Amino acid sequence: MLNAAPNDQTLVTIVVAPRERFEQATMSLEAVFETADLPFRMIYVDGGSPKAISDELKANVESRGHTFIRRPGYVTPNDARNTALPLVDTRYVVFIDNDVVFAPGWLSALVNCAEETGAGLVTPTILVGPAARMPDLKIHHAGGILKLTETGHGRDMYRRHGFEHESYLARKDELVREETDSTEFHVVLARREMLEDIGPFDPNLVGFTDEIDMAFKAKEKGWKIWFEPSSVVAYAVGKKLTWREIPYFCLRWNSAKCMSAERYFYKKWNLVPEFSRQHGFLRDHRRHAFPFKGLQKIVGWRITVTFTTLLCEAIALVTSIRFVKPDMSPKPIASAVTD
């Protein structure tokens, strides 16, 4: 790692937001410091993590001269990002979730791509799987297609991730820098000027379509999105959820909140309603909290999934008192300064 301490020539601020859990946050933070190869500023927004984890994160962030913001309860990712925006004063912002690991050179590759292409947004190669296996993992997102087709009933949205579910090591030589349509908030670089142009993130969106909303607004303003294959990161999954993070996980993927946000998003962009993907994701993803493999062998998949759903929704209902409602009039990014 090169000296990553910020200075007057620092081009990038890293903003960390919680995604769905906390136990991997320290590992992810250490991975940033170990692999970042450019000077950077960091704004770490922590929303409701267990005190022991929060204390460790705060010490690691502040001891390196960066900014740590502790929110009093659970927050949505967009709310966390909006909390950081007024403090950003660099040319670029890299938004990362708190459960990501990184290959060496990931940061400079994103910045170089933006510098050389003028991109408003740059997305890296995003893998998915256990952190210990990096980079021998499946591809989650390597650019992708995000198209709208006008119909008599609104606009039909088609979305597909590039090379999704394919082996990274088998396909990496086929990945090339190119313009693309979509990003993922696991890791994405945004040009500060673009963020000033599109305004704060929509606080009504809780995490299904927040990155699509950003892409649509960027394209409306004429900004380009580029895929940079040499920047490689991984959404680290595989470790079982612990009892300390299950409440946030269940609240984060609460059906009422998620689907209300989806209906709002589809109405906002005049999209043809189609929610089968979202319902399927909620059904399957919540099983990470309660796999119940033994129960499934006895009563079958359908009953197990129903029980898991009811259990997670009950936990979300009880946990909702810890939810910090987003600021519906968030402050914009800091006023322009000379880079």
**pLDDT tens for residues 265-275?**
999 999 999 99
Read off the tokens for 204.
């009504």
Mean pLDDT of 279-305: 93
pLDDT tens column, 172-199: 999 999 999 999 999 999 999 999 999 9
Q: Is residue 82 predicted with pLDDT exceeding 80?
A: yes
CA distance 69 to 82: 12
Q: How many independent structural domains does the chain possess?
A: 1
Q: Tell me, what CATH number does 190's domain have?
A: 3.90.550.10
Q: Is residue 337 predicted with pLDDT exceeding 70?
A: no
Domain interval for residue 122: 1-339
Q: Percentage of residues in the chain with pLDDT exceeding 90?
A: 91
What are the DSSP E strand ranges found in the chain?
12-17, 40-47, 67-71, 92-97, 100-102, 121-129, 138-141, 144-151, 154-161, 178-179, 187-191, 225-236
Phi, psi of 307 (to 5 degrees): -65, -45
The average confidence (pLDDT) of the chain is 94
CA 256 to chain centre: 21
The residue among 43, 327, 114, 306 whose CA lies nearest residue 201 is 327
Read off the tokens for 183.
């990003």
Q: Is residue 9 predicted with pLDDT exceeding 90?
A: no
Roughly how many angstroms between the first and final C-alpha of the chain, as a whole number?
24
Q: Please, are residues 127 and 206 in contact by the beta-carbon 8 Å criterion?
A: no
CA distance 274 to 150: 15
User: In which band, very low, low, confident or very high, does the pLDDT at 239 lie, cut at 50, 70 and 90?
Assistant: confident
Read off the tokens for 220.
């409306």
**Alpha-helix runs per DSSP H in 123-209:** 168-171, 192-198
